[in-house]
Structure 1
């Protein structure tokens, strides 16, 4: 039992009525999805979970399909915001790992992209309409990094890195990445990490410290409010100044690498410990020979 609910694996043949009772309220009644689209031939073949309270009342449900896709994530309105969706998603990812699947994907409603991003899923491909609702595919490697295609994908990985970090987060950027480090979802993820309690550290290593200061980068006011967490340095070695890439990492094996720092495409995920270790080693060496950006403290 976690926070008043339990995530239980259910047998569809026995418990299909409980599964569909939740899905009908959320999808058919709440989102006007036709009932003939809400149910499909995959249901009997799927791995299903139910979130239930102490009395056995179903609060939410989700499934894992044979084609390695998470779907039908549904939580009753009155029970949202309690961590039920996160717990069901974690249970499905754990089952995919148990089956040794290399990857799991989903068709995510656009409004839910930030929720899945925090769990390490990366947007892939263009948006599309399914059951009359805008969706986008999202993927997560198990383990490893997923391809990053655009700014939304890069932001999703940064949000996940901040959400999964325990104490440390490192960012290597040319000039504080306009279009990425100034996004509200990324800034909010950094803020949540910084104020979540305990010892926290965000180190940002820049090739150009003057441009963010001159342009009023939104990350700077946040860092000034939390000076014990955020630290900035600027590279001094000419070799470091010519480094073409940008990256980020955390202390739980998450990483994001973009081969060309002025572009958003690359690879990243919350479960790529070899890449995270390599990036941290490179980062630490450059950090030690770079200068602190003391000018940021007096803006």
Structure 2
């Protein structure tokens, strides 16, 4: 079990033989940087857990994480100079692959609040309220690998949307009758959409009520004005099309978040269901062709 890039490599490591390498990362990040007491950093689960280590091209440890017998991912740590370079993503993918090999149908983790978007990009959804762990705010998150994951509230809706955006290749489709406030205007969503539109591909947004984004002063309109070649709005006008009661976000990479009732957050999501995502893409396309371009957004000064 290993994953490699030109800059680093992720591989499984035995706890006893690799303890010094694990300590080099975990104590630097958790104990020295974040102030976690040393006696809380190491526990009885460590010897029984599956561990992975990331090493740079010289073989120096730069990241680590573990998968416990309780089906819980934790102790995800990357040395500061290597953050934002895909090390955490590679370690998480490796642990998820191991969980699938073991036949586990649910994986959980305790995410530091600032890291919620990172785990959401891999399909994890928030569960329950936030809590304190070792003096740091955390959020429990869970994922059913290879299955649909239920979404029940705004926090889940934001996480699900982040996952669909992150797993898109070149095309992201959003069908939202009134451009959901509280979700599609969330700062983390706007940041993710901006990044996708600049670096990866095209965003198409279908509405029923073209005036809704103006009433809510949606930041998506301003983003569209800055990136009109990659973000497009259209308004549904055909009575038959307007009778559609659901809402969804889907992509060309197999990801979707579907809500049976557009005015509610409850629904389901999955990032690797090509059949369901393709169905939604095919549902979207003819409606898009019949819809009216929202040319009025170009002249707004919001």
Q: What TM-score comes out, normalization by structure 1 length? A: 0.93
User: Which of 159, 162, 165 does residue 165 from structure 2 map onto?
Assistant: 162
2:148 and 2:40 map into 1 onto residues whose CA distance is 33
Unaligned runs of 5+ in 1: none
2:39 is the alignment partner of 1:36: yes
How far is the alpha carbon of 1:22 from its aligned partner? 1.6
Shift of 1:3: 4.4
Q: Distance in 1 between matches of 2:230 and 2:58?
A: 43
1:74 equivalent in structure 2: 77
For 2:186 and 2:206, the matched residues in 1 are separated by 18
* Alignment check: 8 A CA contact 2:181 2:216 kept: no
Q: Is the CA contact 1:127–1:134 (under 8 Å) kept in the aligned structure 2?
A: yes
**Residue of structure 2 equivalent to 1:133:** 136
Counterpart in the other structure of 1:298: 299
After alignment, is 65-74 or 266-275 more displaced?
Answer: 266-275
Residue 92 (structure 2) aligns with:
89
C-alpha displacement of 1:100? 3.1
SS at match of 1:275: helix
Structure 2 CA distance for aligned equivalents of residues 248 and 93 of structure 1: 24
Task: Map residues 252-271 of structure 1 onto 2, 5 A cutoff.
Answer: 252-271=253-272
State how 1:55-66 maps to structure 2 within 5 Å: 55-66=58-69
**Structure 1 range deviating more: 219-228 or 95-104:** 95-104
Cα deviations across residues 53-89 of structure 1 (Å, max 9, x unaligned)? 2332111110111222111001122332222111111
User: Offset at 1:225?
Assistant: 1.6
Query: May I ask how many residue pairs the two structures share in their alignment?
Result: 297
Runs of 5+ unmatched residues, structure 2: none
The residue that corresponds to 2:273 in the other structure is 272
Please tell me whether the aligned partners of residues 3 and 82 of structure 1 are also in contact (alpha carbons under 8 angstroms): no
Residues 23-62 of structure 1, C-alpha deviations (whole Å, 9 max, x = no match): 1221122222222321122111211111112332111110
